[in-house]
């Protein structure tokens, strides 16, 4: 799971929306020689660094869940923001790699196909691309 929304929603002062939504036009974070223009890559590479610290290297990572909720937290969760993030996420994983692993494609999946109206109210119900009554 790699969901930049949670970092953005929990720290609006230090995490910019364009960094969380793959829309930054240049590097936002510099980590030594590595430049990060989106939070997704920074999170995935942080996981790579942690794995290497534990002696696990050269393992391909699949991101099983990513996305942006379309409702449930006021103006931080709108259909437009969800569309922007999901569209940019798919374009990113189909054609880009992380700064730490520039030769490895990222396998990634959007969470979720449908909104889940039986989950607790708020953002947890609103990760789907479609309504459950389709």
Catalytic residues: 65, 116, 119, 124
C-alpha to C-alpha distance for 121 and 47, rounded to whole angstroms: 30
C-alpha to C-alpha distance for 130 and 122, rounded to whole angstroms: 16
Please give the torsion angle defined by the CA atoms of residues 45, 50, 51 and 57, in that order, rounded to the nearest 10 degrees: 60
Is the distance from CB of 40 to CB of 52 less than 8 angstroms? no
C-alpha to C-alpha distance for 131 and 17, rounded to whole angstroms: 25
102-117: b (≥16 Cβ within 10 Å) or e: eeeebebbbbeeebee
How many Cα atoms within 13 Å fall on the side-chain side of residue 2? 25
């Amino acid at each position: 799971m790699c969901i930049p929304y949670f970092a953005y929603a929990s720290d609006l002062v230090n995490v910019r929306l364009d960094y969380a939504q793959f829309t930054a036009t240049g590097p936002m974070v510099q980590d030594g020689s590595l430049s990060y223009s989106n939070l997704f890559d920074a999170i995935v590479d942080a996981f790579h660094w942690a794995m290497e610290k534990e002696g696990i290297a050269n393992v391909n990572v699949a991101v099983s869940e990513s996305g942006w909720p379309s409702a449930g937290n006021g103006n931080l969760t709108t259909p437009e923001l969800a569309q922007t993030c999901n569209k940019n996420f798919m374009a990113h994983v189909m054609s880009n790699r992380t700064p730490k692993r520039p030769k490895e494609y990222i396998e990634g999946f959007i969470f979720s196909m449908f909104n889940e109206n039986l989950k607790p109210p708020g953002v947890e119900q609103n990760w789907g691309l479609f309504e459950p009554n389709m």
